[in-house]
């Protein structure tokens, strides 16, 4: 990934400016794509809603059937998709930079599984059913697993393979635990099996309102650590020489990842690979500067998530394929492609 | 490997004694009059005998466990044909198949795990991590949920799913040869996709099927009958000896492709044959007992630690797998009550703890 040198170090004076223009134009185009996919997210589904009807429901609400579908079903679902998508993309980007690991993703590193296991425990043992109740458990699970994977993978000498293995291994353990709990408690299984898939279908405005603050704080933190993480990309010694505060940056980055993954997982269940794919695509456009990668990921990840959600609704009409399955099926090949590339670039 | 030099009480002039002195192990060569010779590693031999004893004792205990408890004496008497009619029915029709599936599936997972770990040169390269188990599960669930298939159809779905996954991972990881880390990572990618498909099938199922599916996914020996024993027994009888035959070249592969090639090992052929055998063993065992968590991961590792012998340790791994699974099944019935929780829950918990320890202890050594 670090093949082209950072723009500050580039010799030719014209190149950075051209790059700057490309990046800005790209970001504008990405926002355009986001608007388009948002409109699709509201309009497409089991019941097609023409765009003028969408407009009508949003701004001249009269309470007819279509208005209700748009306001109470499609709108919260789309909003949650926007928030969760941005959260997963930012989390993936921060994790890839933090671990200098191109394969880092909240799903691959087991953080989603940690949040899921904690939520399953909350539902089954403590009888907690509300989102506000289990969002805290999701944070706890996400935090414990992110620290555990980081430690188990070997903090200093963490290779991509070792981290991915540590994450997969932990996921396997946690999935086993989730299965065991589900077997003992069939009622929990009935609720859990829809949640563990990863879906936006049950989103309500309450969900959005409850989870948004956590995601926003996480997003601000993630964007703020972009600059020091750039320094860390050069290696610990160089970063220290440049005056980056390694521990503080790492802790803040972990807090951001925990808030983003925990919040997104609590709201829509574990969704894998969004945080893996988007940063790779983005890096191809922006180059290695995290101050550009982070905003790009925040805009393009919801495009992917909402796109996957719409796809899942269209393909299996009148039913739907949950978004977590669509992203996993799309993301698996991308992951394998990244693995197969000639030489896995270190971040 | 142990660094203490053991005294070899055998003939000191034999080549084996020389090897023993070099490696600090008791290795003997047994020669027959016909000119055949077999290398015997005493420690490995002792471990194998002990594991066999554990597996058989646990089997007897497991047969004696249930709504109609039987003492070990009765069990042995019935097995040798001198029990009452009721005992004959309970042992031969109800409980013996369960134990046999446990022994065979355990051995199959053990061998397959040892092969995968040796080929991927990674102690975590087990079927659970590599996606074969998920492939088998997806195949079985597909049959269960969409076609409401019976036991045999579900088993067939599991075998087909495992084979297709194995082939796909093999082809995707192939790039002028199979390389360790790429193999593992491609497997991880495939596992995540397949797990998503499994979850999707779970949402399509009704709650009865879903419970059945979770039980199956965890791995269970409950309610096995002879229909499950025979196919598994045939696969094991063919493929475990075949794998054992390739044990030596596989051990050389662990030194790296170039070294193995230089020593005259047909590198690619050994890999392809062994991987095919391992995938088939996993598929057959999964069809009979479900993808029992972590067995294939832990059995070879534990066997290796007990024998303190380098290399894949295929036979000890098979015996360890059989002993572990039957013991775990007996233990889970003692702990959770008869058939409350499938045996996979216990192996999952124990295996998970072991796995975390493995990750923690080996990260410094840099072997993972």
Query: Percent of chain B at pLDDT above 70?
Result: 86
**Chain A residues in contact with B202 (beta carbon < 8 A):** 193, 197
Classify residue B94 by its DSSP letter: I
Q: Is B293 on the interface with A (CB under 8 A)?
A: yes
Cβ separation of A152 and B348 shorter than 8 Å?
no
Cβ separation of A339 and B218 shorter than 8 Å?
no
**CATH number for the domain that contains residue A254:** 1.10.3470.10
| DSSP per position, A65-96 | HHHHIIIIIIHHHHHHHHHHHHHHHHHHHHHH
Of A137-141, B17-21, B356-360, which one has max mean pLDDT?
Answer: A137-141
ipTM, 2 dp:
0.73
Q: In chain A, what is the greatest distance between 2 CA atoms, to the nearest angstrom?
A: 66
Dist CA B58 CA B207 (whole Å): 34
Residues 6 or more apart whose Cβ sits within 8 Å of residue A176: B218, B293, B294, B344, B345, B348, B349, B351, B352
Q: A81, A212 in Cβ contact below 8 A?
A: no
Q: What is the CATH number of domain B50-55+62-358?
A: 1.10.3470.10
What's the whole-number mean pLDDT along residues B57-64?
Answer: 89
Residue A15, both tokens: 């190149």
Nearest CB neighbour to B196, from listed A154, A180, A324: A324
Angle (CA) B7-B12-B13 rounded to 5° is: 155
Nearest CB neighbour to A179, from listed B122, B193, B218: B218
Cβ separation of B192 and A107 shorter than 8 Å?
yes
CA distances from residue A10 to A3, A5, A284, A345, B180 in whole angstroms, order as listed: 12, 7, 17, 21, 38
Give the domain ranges of chain B: 50-55+62-358
Tell me the shortest Cα–Cα distance from A133 to chain B, in angstroms: 24
A27 located within any domain: no
Task: Report CA torsion sign: A45, A46, A51, A57.
Answer: negative
Dist CA B26 CA B240 (whole Å): 26
Dist CA B117 CA B123 (whole Å): 5
User: What per-residue confidence (pLDDT) applies to B5?
Assistant: 38
Dist CA B255 CA B295 (whole Å): 25
Q: B158, B139 in Cβ contact below 8 A?
A: yes
- Does pLDDT of B26 surpass 80? no
In total, how many domains does chain A have? 1
Query: Percent of chain A at pLDDT above 90?
Result: 13
Please identify among residues 58-117 of chain B the ones whose CB lies closer than 8 Å to any CB of chain A.
none
Q: B219, B289 in Cβ contact below 8 A?
A: yes
Nearest CB neighbour to A165, from listed B218, B294, B368: B368
A4 located within any domain: no
Dist CA A47 CA A66 (whole Å): 9
Tell me the shortest Cα–Cα distance from A206 to chain B, in angstroms: 24
Task: Give the model confidence (pLDDT) of B182-230 as tens digits.
Answer: 777 788 888 888 888 888 888 888 888 888 788 888 888 887 888 889 9
Cβ separation of B189 and A184 shorter than 8 Å?
no
Find the residue in A nearest to B182 (Cα).
A339
Dist CA B315 CA B323 (whole Å): 12
**Chain A residues in contact with B199 (beta carbon < 8 A):** 193, 196-197, 324-325
User: What per-residue confidence (pLDDT) applies to A7?
Assistant: 45
- Does pLDDT of A219 surpass 50? yes
Cβ separation of B345 and A197 shorter than 8 Å?
no
Cβ separation of B293 and A172 shorter than 8 Å?
yes
Nearest CB neighbour to A321, from listed B185, B200, B356: B200
Give B41's strand partners. B27
B178 φ, ψ to 5°?
-95, 125
Residue B112, both tokens: 């397959």
B331's enclosing H/E stretch is: helix B314-336
Residue B324, both tokens: 């572990």
Residue with tokens 């397959």, as numbered in its chain: B112
Angle (CA) B354-B360-B364 rounded to 5° is: 135
Cβ separation of B172 and A336 shorter than 8 Å?
yes
Q: Is B292 on the interface with A (CB under 8 A)?
A: no
Using 50, 70 and 90 to split pLDDT, how confident is the model at B23?
low
Q: Is B207 on the interface with A (CB under 8 A)?
A: yes
Dist CA B311 CA B8 (whole Å): 22
Residue with tokens 């789309």, as numbered in its chain: A78
Using 50, 70 and 90 to split pLDDT, how confident is the model at B150?
confident
Q: A246, A232 in Cβ contact below 8 A?
A: yes
Q: B346, A177 in Cβ contact below 8 A?
A: no
Residue B40, both tokens: 């015997």
Dist CA B130 CA B183 (whole Å): 8
CA distances from residue A150 to A47, A107, A176, A290, B60 in whole angstroms, order as listed: 45, 14, 21, 21, 44
Nearest CB neighbour to A169, from listed B124, B207, B344: B124
A167 located within any domain: yes
Using 50, 70 and 90 to split pLDDT, how confident is the model at A160?
low
Cβ separation of B185 and A103 shorter than 8 Å?
yes
B335 φ, ψ to 5°?
-80, -50
Nearest CB neighbour to B359, from listed A152, A186, A321: A152
Q: B41, B309 in Cβ contact below 8 A?
A: yes
What's the whole-number mean pLDDT along residues A330-343?
Answer: 78
Tell me the shortest Cα–Cα distance from B267 to chain A, in angstroms: 21
Task: Give the model confidence (pLDDT) of B311-357 as tens digits.
Answer: 778 999 999 999 999 999 999 888 877 777 888 888 887 887 787 77
User: What per-residue confidence (pLDDT) applies to B8?
Assistant: 39
Tell me the shortest Cα–Cα distance from A83 to chain B, in angstroms: 22
Collapse the DSSP code of B359 into the 3-class scheme (helix H, G, I; strand E, B; otherwise coil) and give the result. helix
Bigger pLDDT: B353 vs B160: B160
Residue B102, both tokens: 């446990």
A vs B, Cβ pairs < 8 A, gives: 149
Residue from A106, A172, A191, A311 to probe the interface with B (highest B Cβ count within 10 Å): A172
Dist CA B17 CA A235 (whole Å): 51
A305 located within any domain: yes
User: What per-residue confidence (pLDDT) applies to A281?
Assistant: 83
Cβ separation of A177 and B210 shorter than 8 Å?
no
Tell me the shortest Cα–Cα distance from B333 to chain A, in angstroms: 15
Dist CA B208 CA A33 (whole Å): 43
Dist CA B188 CA B203 (whole Å): 23
Angle (CA) B346-B347-B353 rounded to 5° is: 95
B98's enclosing H/E stretch is: helix B96-120
Tell me the shortest Cα–Cα distance from A33 to chain B, in angstroms: 26
Residues in chain A, overall count:
347
Cβ separation of A190 and B210 shorter than 8 Å?
yes
Residue A234 C-alpha from the chain's centroid: 25
Lowest mean pLDDT among B154-158, B218-222, B364-368: B364-368
In this prediction the pTM is 0.77
Lowest mean pLDDT among A4-18, A100-114, B62-76: A4-18
Residue from A108, A151, A183, A277 to probe the interface with B (highest B Cβ count within 10 Å): A183
Task: Give the model confidence (pLDDT) of B101-136 as tens digits.
Answer: 999 999 999 999 999 888 877 777 788 778 888 888
A39 located within any domain: no
Query: Percent of chain A at pLDDT above 70?
Result: 90
What's the whole-number mean pLDDT along residues A205-226?
Answer: 90
Residue from B133, B189, B201, B202 to probe the interface with A (highest A Cβ count within 10 Å): B189
Q: Is B121 on the interface with A (CB under 8 A)?
A: no
Dist CA A324 CA A302 (whole Å): 13
Cβ separation of B341 and A180 shorter than 8 Å?
yes
**Chain A residues in contact with B360 (beta carbon < 8 A):** 152
Cβ separation of B199 and A340 shorter than 8 Å?
no
A8 located within any domain: no
Residue B189, both tokens: 């990618």
User: What per-residue confidence (pLDDT) applies to B237?
Assistant: 94
> Of A145, A164, A142, nearest to A153 (Cα)?
A164
A32 located within any domain: no
- Does pLDDT of A6 surpass 60? no
User: What per-residue confidence (pLDDT) applies to A220?
Assistant: 95
Cβ separation of A164 and B185 shorter than 8 Å?
yes
Residue with tokens 């796109």, as numbered in its chain: A307
A38 located within any domain: no
Dist CA B116 CA A161 (whole Å): 16
Classify residue A8 by its DSSP letter: G
Bigger pLDDT: B305 vs A2: B305
Residues 6 or more apart whose Cβ sits within 8 Å of residue A151: none
Dist CA B85 CA B99 (whole Å): 20
Mean pLDDT of chain A: 80
Residue from A108, A164, A176 to probe the interface with B (highest B Cβ count within 10 Å): A176
Task: Give the model confidence (pLDDT) of B232-268 as tens digits.
Answer: 999 999 999 999 988 888 888 777 777 888 888 888 8
Cβ separation of B363 and A189 shorter than 8 Å?
no
Q: B167, B275 in Cβ contact below 8 A?
A: no
In terms of DSSP bridges, do strands B37-41 and B27-31 run parallel, antiparallel, or are they unpaired?
Answer: antiparallel
CB atoms < 10 A from the CB of A281, how many?
15
Nearest CB neighbour to A179, from listed B128, B207, B214: B214
Structural domain harbouring A240: 48-341
User: What per-residue confidence (pLDDT) applies to B365?
Assistant: 57
Dist CA B113 CA B188 (whole Å): 16
């Amino acid at each position: 990934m670090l093949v082209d040198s950072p723009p500050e170090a580039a010799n030719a004076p014209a190149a950075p400016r051209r790059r700057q223009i490309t990046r800005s134009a790209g970001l504008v185009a990405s926002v355009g794509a986001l608007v388009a996919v948002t409109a699709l997210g509201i309009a497409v589904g089991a019941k097609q809603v023409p765009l003028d009807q969408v407009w009508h429901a949003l701004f001249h609400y009269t309470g007819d059937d279509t208005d209700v579908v748009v306001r109470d079903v499609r709108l919260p679902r789309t909003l949650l998709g926007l928030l969760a998508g941005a959260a997963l993309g930012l989390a993936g980007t921060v994790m890839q930079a933090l671990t200098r690991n191109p394969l880092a993703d909240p799903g691959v590193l087991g953080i989603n599984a940690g949040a899921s296991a904690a939520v399953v425990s909350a539902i089954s043992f403590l009888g907690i059913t509300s989102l506000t109740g289990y969002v805290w458990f999701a944070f706890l699970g996400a935090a414990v697993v992110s620290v555990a994977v980081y430690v188990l993978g070997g903090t200093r000498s963490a290779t991509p393979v070792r981290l991915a293995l540590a994450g997969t291994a932990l996921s396997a353990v946690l999935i086993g635990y989730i299965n065991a709990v589900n077997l003992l408690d069939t009622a929990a299984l009935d609720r859990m099996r829809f949640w563990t898939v990863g879906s936006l279908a049950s989103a309500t405005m309450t969900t959005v309102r409850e989870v948004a603050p956590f995601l926003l704080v996480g997003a601000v933190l993630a964007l703020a650590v972009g600059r020091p993480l750039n320094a860390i990309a050069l290696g610990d010694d160089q970063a220290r020489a440049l005056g980056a505060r390694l521990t503080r940056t790492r802790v803040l980055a972990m807090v951001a990842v925990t808030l983003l993954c925990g919040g997104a997982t609590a709201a829509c269940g574990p969704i894998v690979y969004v945080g893996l794919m988007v940063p790779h695509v983005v890096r191809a456009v922006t180059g290695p500067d995290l101050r550009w990668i982070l905003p790009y990921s925040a805009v393009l990840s919801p495009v992917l998530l909402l796109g996957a959600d719409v796809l899942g609704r269209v393909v299996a009409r009148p039913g739907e394929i949950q978004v977590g399955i669509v992203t996993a099926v799309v993301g698996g090949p991308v992951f394998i492609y990244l693995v197969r590339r000639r030489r896995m670039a270190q971040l | 490997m142990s660094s203490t030099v053991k005294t070899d009480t055998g003939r000191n002039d034999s080549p084996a004694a020389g090897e023993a002195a070099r490696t600090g192990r008791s290795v003997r060569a047994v020669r027959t009059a016909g000119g055949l010779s077999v290398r015997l590693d005493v420690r490995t031999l002792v471990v194998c005998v002990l594991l066999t004893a554990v597996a058989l004792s646990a089997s007897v205990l497991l047969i004696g466990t249930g709504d109609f408890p039987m003492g070990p004496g009765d069990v042995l008497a019935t097995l040798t044909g001198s029990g009452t009619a009721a005992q004959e029915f309970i042992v031969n029709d109800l409980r013996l198949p369960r134990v046999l599936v446990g022994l065979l599936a355990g051995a199959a997972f053990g061998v397959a795990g040892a092969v995968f770990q040796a080929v991927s040169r990674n102690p975590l390269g087990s079927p659970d991590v590599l996606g074969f188990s998920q492939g088998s599960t997806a195949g079985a669930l597909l049959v269960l949920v969409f076609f409401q298939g019976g036991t045999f159809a579900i088993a067939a779905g599991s075998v087909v799913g495992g084979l297709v996954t194995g082939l796909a991972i093999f082809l995707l990881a192939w790039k002028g040869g199979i390389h360790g880390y790429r193999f593992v990572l491609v497997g991880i990618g495939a596992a995540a996709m397949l797990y998503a498909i499994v979850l999707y099938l779970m949402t399509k199922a009704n709650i009865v099927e879903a419970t059945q599916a979770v039980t199956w996914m965890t791995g269970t020996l409950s309610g096995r009958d002879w229909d499950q024993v025979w196919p598994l027994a045939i696969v094991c009888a063919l493929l475990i000896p075949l794998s054992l035959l390739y044990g030596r070249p596989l051990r050389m592969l662990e030194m790296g492709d170039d070294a193995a090639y230089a020593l005259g090992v047909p590198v690619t052929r050994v890999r392809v044959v062994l991987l095919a055998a391992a995938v088939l063993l996993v598929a057959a065992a999964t069809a009979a007992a479900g993808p029992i968590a972590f067995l294939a991961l832990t059995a070879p590792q534990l066997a290796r630690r007990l024998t303190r012998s380098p290399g894949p340790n295929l036979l000890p791994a098979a015996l360890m797998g059989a002993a572990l699974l039957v013991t775990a099944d007996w233990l889970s019935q003692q702990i959770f009550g008869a058939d409350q929780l499938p045996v996979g829950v216990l192996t999952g918990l124990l295996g998970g703890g072991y796995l975390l320890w493995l990750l923690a202890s080996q990260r410094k050594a840099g072997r993972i």
